Amino acid sequence: MIVGISGIGLIGGSMAKAYKQAGHTVLVYDRDKSIAAYAQLSGVSDGELTPENLPDCDLVLIALYPTDAINYMEENAPYFSKNAVVMDLCGTKRLVCQRGFELAKEHGFTYVGGHPMAGTQFSGFKYSSADLFRDQPMVIVPPAFDDIYLLQRVKDLLEPAGFSHMSVTNSAEHDKIIAFTSQMAHVVSNAFIKSPTARLHKGFSAGSYKDLTRVAWLNEDMWSDLFLENKDYLVDELDFLLTSLQQYKDALESGDRDRLKALLLEGSILKEEVDGNND
């Protein structure tokens, strides 16, 4: 299989390493030519991905910011093979999927939205790993939910990455859920670490502090783009959180132990209902 990967930061670089490790031909493009050159020198890629060799690719993975992914598809749509699957790996799906489906219909290639549910607090090719996606879930947004052949084809094409399972959804549902499961976690973590007390934490912090602040260290350019593109769902989640936090604050200020216990118990019960003993 020949795999073309546009953007070889953490996600694209990890894809490149996974497919190369599995014995496939990997062609890469990155705006930073030095990173693409390093990937080839280090044996991660077999060469540069260009309009000339794009038609040879069986799978094209686009690991760019959503706006850049759209621009890349618009510029290269005439070169994608009609036998290939083109998949973006963006963190939001509505804008990129809408344009991807339009371009696929216009130019005759197959487009599927994708979001690998894996990552680290670090970014860039140097932190990429062939095992980043192993045993992690993958979310896809297909053009049709009843195309069993396409879903199996996508599953087979993604096999070298090592995902544990594949979830299928639409772009709006994806963005609504990801506002809660991912984007809110980054906002809360980033805001939480701004307390003046944070500078005094050493010697007093353990697992809960580390868990809550792990993603406070983030790529501000990427996350600003993702937050703004999903601002409607993210603002809804923030509104709910702020209202919920106010209830805890009110109970504390009034010394209402029964109310505080009820709020804490409610959260504990919901955690058990949602996740059980598994995170």
Q: What is the pTM of this model?
A: 0.89
pLDDT at 69 over 90: yes
Count of helix runs (H) and strand runs (E) in the chain: 11, 8
166 secondary structure, DSSP code: E
Confidence of residue 255 (pLDDT cuts 50, 70, 90): very high
Distance CA 221, CA 4 (A): 25
- DSSP-H helix ranges across 108-230: 148-158, 171-178, 184-192, 207-213, 220-229
Give the burial class of 260: count Cβ atoms within 10 A of its Cβ; 0-12 exposed, 13-18 middle, 19 or more buried: middle
pLDDT at 278 over 70: no
CB atoms closer than 10 angstroms to residue 101:
17
- What structural domains does the chain harbor? 2-169 (3.40.50.720), 174-275 (1.10.3660.10)
Cα within 13 Å of Cα(262), Cβ side:
8
pLDDT at 279 over 90: no
Q: Which pLDDT value is given to residue 207? A: 85
Confidence of residue 263 (pLDDT cuts 50, 70, 90): very high
pLDDT at 198 over 90: no
Neighbour order of strands in the sheet with 165-168 = 47-48, 25-29, 2-6, 59-62, 85-88, 110-116, 137-141, 165-168
Tokens describing residue 200: 């005094």
CB atoms closer than 10 angstroms to residue 248:
14
Among the residue ranges 67-76, 115-124, 261-270, the one predicted with the least confidence is 115-124
Bridge partner residues of 168 (DSSP): 140
258: CB partners within 8 A, 6+ apart:
none
115 secondary structure, DSSP code: E
Q: Which pLDDT value is given to residue 203? A: 74
Model pLDDT for residues 82-91, shown as the tens digit of each residue = 999 999 999 9
219: CB partners within 8 A, 6+ apart:
123
Q: Which pLDDT value is given to residue 194? A: 94
Tokens describing residue 28: 């890469």
Helix, strand or coil, per DSSP, at residue 92: coil
Q: Tell me how far CA of residue 105 lies from CA of 28, 98, 108, 158, 252, in angstroms.
A: 25, 11, 5, 23, 57
Among 40, 60, 261, 45, CA closest to 158: 60
The beta strand positions in the chain, using DSSP E, are: 2-6, 25-29, 47-48, 59-62, 85-88, 110-116, 137-141, 165-168
Q: Which pLDDT value is given to residue 201? A: 85
Model pLDDT for residues 19-31, shown as the tens digit of each residue = 999 999 999 999 9
Tell me the average pLDDT across 58-71. Answer: 96
